[in-house]
Amino acid sequence: MCGIVGFIGTSNAKNIIIDGLKKLEYRGYDSSGIALFQNGGLKIKKTIGRIANLENAMLGGDYESPGGIGHTRWATHGAPSDVNAHPHSNMAGTIAVVHNGIIENYVELREWLTKEHGVIFLSETDTEVIAHLISLYYENDLVDAVYKAVAKMRGAYAIGAIAANEPDKIVAVRKDSPLVVGLGEDCNFIASDIPALLKYVRKVYLIENNETVILTKNDVKIFDKDRNEIKRDVFHVTWDAVEAEKDGYDHFMLKEIHEQPKCIEETLSRRLTADGKIVLDGISMTKEDIESFNKVCIVACGTAYHAGLVGKTVIEKFAKIPVEVDVASEFRYRDPFVDDKTLFIAISQSGETLDTLAALREAKRRGARVLSVVNVVGSSVSRESDDVFYTWAGPEIAVASTKAYTTQLVCMYLIALYMGLTKGSLDREEFDRVITELKAIPEKLKTLLTKEPVIADLAKTFYKTEQVFFIGRGVDVGVSYEGSLKLKEISYINSFAVAAGELKHGTIALIEQGTLVIALATQDALYEKMVSNVQEVKARGAVVIGFAKEGNQAIENQADKVFYIPECRDEISPLLSVVPLQMLAYYIAKLRGCDIDKPKNLAKSVTVE
What is the tens place of the pLDDT at every residue in 348-359?
Answer: 988 888 899 999
Q: Report in angstroms the alpha-carbon separations of 547 from 15, 482, 599.
A: 48, 14, 26
Residue count (the chain): 609
pLDDT band at 20 (very low <50, low <70, confident <90, very high): very high
Segment 535-564, tens digit of pLDDT = 999 999 999 999 999 988 889 988 999 999
Q: Alpha-carbon distance 528 to 525, whole Å?
A: 8
- The predicted structure's pLDDT at residue 418: 94
Of the listed 2, 263, 411, 594, which one is catalytic? Answer: 2
With CA atoms as reference, report the closest residue to 454 among 590, 577, 563, 585.
563
Is the per-residue pLDDT at 224 higher than 70? yes
Segment 379-438, tens digit of pLDDT = 888 889 999 998 988 888 888 999 999 999 999 999 999 999 999 999 999 999 999 999
Is the per-residue pLDDT at 604 higher than 60? no
Phi-psi region of 547 (alpha: psi -120 to 50; beta: other; left: phi over 0): beta
pLDDT band at 603 (very low <50, low <70, confident <90, very high): low
Alpha-carbon Rg for the chain in angstroms: 25
Percent of the chain with pLDDT over 90: 74
Average of pLDDT values for 299-328? 96
Of the listed 14, 46, 486, 604, which one is catalytic? Answer: 604
Is the per-residue pLDDT at 507 higher than 60? yes
Q: Alpha-carbon distance 12 to 28, whole Å?
A: 24
Is the per-residue pLDDT at 527 higher than 90? no
Q: Report in angstroms the alpha-carbon separations of 480 from 62, 103, 470, 522, 546.
A: 53, 36, 5, 11, 12
Which string of DSSP letters, residue by residue, matches 445-476?
HHHHHTTHHHHHHHHHHHTT-SEEEEEE-THH
- The predicted structure's pLDDT at residue 369: 96
Average of pLDDT values for 54-65? 90
- The predicted structure's pLDDT at residue 11: 87
- The predicted structure's pLDDT at residue 248: 83
Segment 238-282, tens digit of pLDDT = 766 555 577 788 999 999 999 999 999 989 988 888 777 888 766
In order of their start, the domains of the chain are 3-238 (3.60.20.10), 244-448 (3.40.50.10490), 452-591 (3.40.50.10490)
182, 191 in Cβ contact below 8 A? yes
With CA atoms as reference, report the closest residue to 529 among 553, 555, 510, 509.
555
**CB within 8 Å of 70: residues ≥ 6 apart:** 4, 5, 6, 17, 18, 20, 21, 32, 33, 34, 35, 87, 98
Instruction: Verify whether residue 604 is a known catalytic residue.
Output: yes
Which region among 65-69, 270-274, 278-282, 487-491 has the lowest average model confidence (pLDDT)?
278-282
DSSP bridge partners of 371 = 345, 387
Q: How crowded is residue 570: how many other Cβ atoms within 10 Å of its Cβ? A: 18
Q: Alpha-carbon distance 337 to 344, whole Å?
A: 11
Segment 571-600, tens digit of pLDDT = 999 999 999 999 999 999 999 999 998 888
31, 84 in Cβ contact below 8 A? yes
DSSP β-ladder status, 342-348 and 369-374: parallel
pLDDT band at 459 (very low <50, low <70, confident <90, very high): very high
**CB within 8 Å of 118: residues ≥ 6 apart:** none
Average of pLDDT values for 212-240? 92
With CA atoms as reference, report the closest residue to 414 among 262, 311, 297, 295.
311
Q: Report in angstroms the alpha-carbon separations of 118 from 1, 89, 129, 180, 390.
A: 31, 15, 13, 35, 51
DSSP SS3 for 172: strand
Q: Alpha-carbon distance 73 to 80, whole Å?
A: 8
- The predicted structure's pLDDT at residue 194: 86
